[in-house]
Structure 1
Amino acid sequence: MPYNVSENWIKVYTTGDAFAAEVLKQGLTEAGIPAVTINKQLAAYNFGEVTVLVNKSDFDKAIEYIVQNQID
């Protein structure tokens, strides 16, 4: 069976700002919480959303990180 991100990963943040999503992903990773981004934007227009995902087992830690760092 091929690797399926949706089975093990859960959304913790969605934004229209690709840079903000990358900064959050980096912060989570540095805090020991592996994270990935899925960019669904149209590159030429920066229109759409970018989602940050973490492993289901890290969801609570990721939400705590987001709250502690006052990420909107």
Structure 2
Amino acid sequence: MSNPNWVKIRTYTDRVRAEIVKQMLVENDIPAVLMNKQDSSYPVFGNIELLVDREHQLEAVALIDSFSEEDLEHED
């Protein structure tokens, strides 16, 4: 897959949570990237977008939905 066709599937305000979800996808062989659109001097403004390759969109959403918020917060 040399030229992924990225599609936004989630938006976060918490960078740590976004990184956890992205890593979960990558560990399950789903290409994922984060696009940080937060203000660099005041990160309360803006969002972090989670993007996946269009071909893996449904799989990624299903995987994220299969975990509760508590599962994502307590991963070790």
Whether the TM-score (by the shorter chain) exceeds 0.5 is: yes
What is the match of residue 54 of structure 2? 56
Q: Which 4+ residue blocks in structure 1 deviate beyond 4 angstroms? A: none
Q: Distance in 1 between matches of 2:63 and 2:22?
A: 11
Task: State the Cα RMSD in Å.
Answer: 1.8
What is the match of residue 40 of structure 1? 37
Which residues of structure 1 form unaligned runs of 5+?
none
Q: CA deviation at 1:45?
A: 1.3
Q: Distance in 1 between matches of 2:18 and 2:36?
A: 9
Q: Deviations over 1:12-64 (max 9, x none)?
A: 11011111111111010001101000000012211210000000000010011
Residue identity opposite 2:67 in structure 1: N
Give the TM-score normalised by the residue count of structure 2: 0.79
Task: Judge which range, 42-51 or 24-33, deviates more.
Answer: 42-51
What is the match of residue 29 of structure 1? 26
Which residues of structure 2 form unaligned runs of 5+?
70-76
Q: Distance in 1 between matches of 2:46 and 2:60?
A: 23
| 1:66 aligned residue (64, 67, 75) | 64
What is the match of residue 10 of structure 2? 13
